[in-house]
Amino acid sequence: MPLPIDPAFQMTFEARIAALAALSESSEHLVRPSFTPSMRRVNALVSEWMAAAGLTPREDALGNLIGRYEGATPDAPALMIGSHLDTVADAGRYDGTLGVLLGLAVVEHLNAAGLRLPFAVEVIAFCDEEGLRFHLPYLGSRAVNGTLTAAHLDLTDDTGVSVAEALRLFGGSPEAAATAARRPDELIAYLEAHIEQGPALEAADEPLGVVTAIAGQHRAQLTFVGEAGHAGTVPMRLRRDALVTAARFVAQAYDYAAAVDGLVATVGQLSVQPGASNAIPGRVTLSLDVRHAEDAQREQATAALRRAAEEGAAAGGCQLEWLDISITPAVTCSPRLVDVLCAAIASERPPLRMVSGAGHDAAQMARLAPMAMLFVRCKGGLSHHPNEFCAAVDAEAALRALLGAVLALASA
């Protein structure tokens, strides 16, 4: 039997989104890096909401905010629902925040109905998913899954402050970081609702989709080294133009990915030296980001693009320097949880099953427990942007699906 949704949910949701968006390190735009005063204020406010909803809130040693709603049996394993509360620079209001607020709303509805489940429900707000401050994502979920290391605590921000120092100022405890790790027997599953950050749901006129996998990612830095020269005195046939060579590779990467189903390849950064209007570019450095839901496909594509870069460099009279920045394997969602979420979505058509091209805390939590994700439509597919928008009616549809999934898991 589905639980009735509070008629005031949409209004409450919009008010909470606005309240959290007002807590920022800048008065001009939303930016909320980890372990900052704005994060402290956000955790304090969400803690109040958690307590009012019937959750018992606490912060772990890394500053992750966790609210627990006990099950019918005290100290039972928990179903964890959540996302993150940190942001990128000049952020939108919904990335991460949506998932935390929906987890909170699930417990509010369970508590209002007086329901205690065979398992506890925990709502988690991770302290750092975006990696904005220390240039490494998932600090919070790495701590929870037990993969946070001493080297991670030694990372520094652009002002030279380390994770450990910032955490200590925030009220956390780097010395006790290991205590944030959870055991697999403490959790039965992890669910995360998140805006899609893409246009597929809007194009399909569907408010919700279910994630089947989170794509693996290979990030590399390529440098084409040619020879700088005077723009007016070096004949075209004698030039070793690094920018021309790099531009040809950029087009090759785009065309290659466009021809392979599910593959995306992106060059998002380009640095040209000497960078003068009257000089032939002698050195070009660019970023390459390759993603696919299947690691074998991603590895094959990356190898092919590296060969193309090497051959292109040789043809252009340039040298190629290739540096691997990071390689993240793909993560498959729990088929059982995917089916449970699909069954919980009220729709005349089968719900869209989707691959997430973006990384999420869910990928880290999959190391610890069965995991699944619910995607929620966002206007224009826009994210990491101040115009990011998720309609309250779509958030309510997501709440219904999450509640249905939670109750289905409880009855099972």
Q: Average pLDDT of 177-205?
A: 97
Q: Widest CA span of the chain, in angstroms?
A: 82
- Do 133 and 157 form a contact (C-beta atoms < 8 A)? yes
- Do 368 and 182 form a contact (C-beta atoms < 8 A)? yes
Give the percent of the chain with pLDDT over 90. 96
For 36-68, what is each residue's pLDDT tens digit? Answer: 999 999 999 999 999 999 999 999 999 999 999
Quote the pTM value: 0.87
Query: CA 226 → CA 28, 114, 253, 321, distances in Å?
Result: 42, 70, 20, 11
- Rounded distance, CA 47 to CA 169, Å? 19
Neighbour-count burial for 384-399, b at 16+ CB within 10 Å, e otherwise: eeeebbbbeebbbbbb
- Do 208 and 394 form a contact (C-beta atoms < 8 A)? yes
Task: List, in order of start, the domains of the chain with CATH numbers.
Answer: 9-214+330-411 (3.40.630.10), 216-328 (3.30.70.360)
- Residue 338 pairs in a beta bridge with none
Mean pLDDT, the chain, rounded, equals 96
- pLDDT band (50, 70, 90) for residue 346: confident
- In this structure, how many other beta carbons lie within 10 angstroms of the beta carbon of residue 279? 15
- Residue 171 identity: G
Q: What is the SS3 assignment for 239? A: coil
- Rounded distance, CA 284 to CA 261, Å? 29
Confidence at residue 328, expressed as pLDDT on a 0 to 100 scale: 86
- In this structure, how many other beta carbons lie within 10 angstroms of the beta carbon of residue 204? 14
- Rounded distance, CA 99 to CA 85, Å? 9
- Rounded distance, CA 129 to CA 143, Å? 11
pLDDT of 347 higher than 90:
no
For 123-148, what is each residue's pLDDT tens digit? Answer: 999 999 999 999 888 999 999 999 99
Structure tokens at 257: 């990915």
DSSP state string for 82-108: EEE----TT--SSTTHHHHHHHHHHHH
